[in-house]
Amino acid sequence: MRDLTITGVWTHTETMPAADAIALAQRVESLGYSTLWLPETAGKDPFALIGMLASHTTELRFATGIANIFHRHPGVMKQAAMTLAEQSGGRFLLGIGVSHGPMVAGLRGLDYSRPLASMSNYLDAYDASPYMAFPPAEPPKRVLAALGPKMLELARDKADGAHPYWTTPEHTELARKILGPDKLLLVEQKVVGTTDAGTARLAAAGALAMYRTLPNYRNNWLRLGFTDDDIDGAAPRFLDAVVAWGTTEAIKSRVQEHTDAGADHVCVQPLDPQNRLGAVDWDVLEALAPT
């Protein structure tokens, strides 16, 4: 099992049949990455998917980035996490989060009025839930999708750390100060493998189209000093801050900035320069590969 400090990959497999998802995981593993992060929206179940992928790999870790707490009873979440940790030989990390109002109240029709309190209560219920099967050697680490100070404090007090998404090295530095020195800080960084500014910013703006309407992300960007005009107008200074592009050395430098700011792990998410739905940019993943 590879050290979590080695760079990981954040991607999705929603447009892929099972065989292609297996091939993706195996190729990520062969490139030396430590961890494959997989999301949950309204598509594939990440736990079932990870169970399949873990059975076709040997060293690669898997993490949910993130599993939505409103979709599962805390006891069911714990059962899935403990089962995957045992079956994979400890190669599973549980990332959970409150998602967003449009995904919870809008899509699912569930109460999203108190997300911070809901997460705190959920963690207590998770801890209190019984698990009476053959256990993993160690319970899986548990990190929270945390952006703002209060959720980061909760990640410090009731979890093993945080998994910030759509952030900057400046946010990583702030997150580390709140988490303290001993908690995991596992950061996602979007990248575009091109040296052409227009191509890179077009890909970044395309990826942002949905996310900039979500209050959790928007509020975090505003806290970091960006303006509504920056966000809505896809200003170059904003796009360049949240998406790394350029030469391989430039992208690696951005990853290193997160590490220098206190990140234990950075998972890179390659955006397709041509904005093709579901396409994986293997050129940039090979260029950034730990091996």
Domain boundary assignment for the chain = 8-192+251-287
Sign, CA dihedral 98-14-62-133, equals positive
Mean pLDDT of the chain: 96
Q: Which is nearest to 257 in space by CA: 247, 239, 244?
A: 244
Q: Is 268 helix (H, G, I), strand (E, B) or coil?
A: strand
Eight-state DSSP code of residue 105: I
Q: Which amino acid is at 39?
A: P
Token pair recorded at residue 283: 């050129």
Average pLDDT over residues 123-136: 98
Q: Is the pLDDT of residue 101 over 90?
A: no
Phi and psi at 127, nearest 5°, equal -65, -35
pLDDT at position 26:
98
d(CA 63, CA 135): 19
pLDDT at position 263:
98
Strands (DSSP E) contained in the chain are 8-10, 35-38, 61-64, 67-68, 92-97, 142-144, 161-162, 184-192, 243-245, 265-271
The model's pTM is 0.98
Question: Do residues 141 and 161 touch, judged by C-beta distance below 8 A?
Answer: yes
Q: Is 110 helix (H, G, I), strand (E, B) or coil?
A: coil
pLDDT at position 110:
87
Give the model confidence (pLDDT) of 260-275 as tens digits.
Answer: 999 999 999 999 998 8
pLDDT at position 25:
98
d(CA 259, CA 172): 9
User: Would you place residue 109 in the very low, low, confident or very high pLDDT band (cuts 50, 70, 90)?
Assistant: confident
Q: Which is nearest to 243 in space by CA: 232, 230, 254?
A: 254
The CATH code belonging to domain 8-192+251-287 is 3.20.20.30
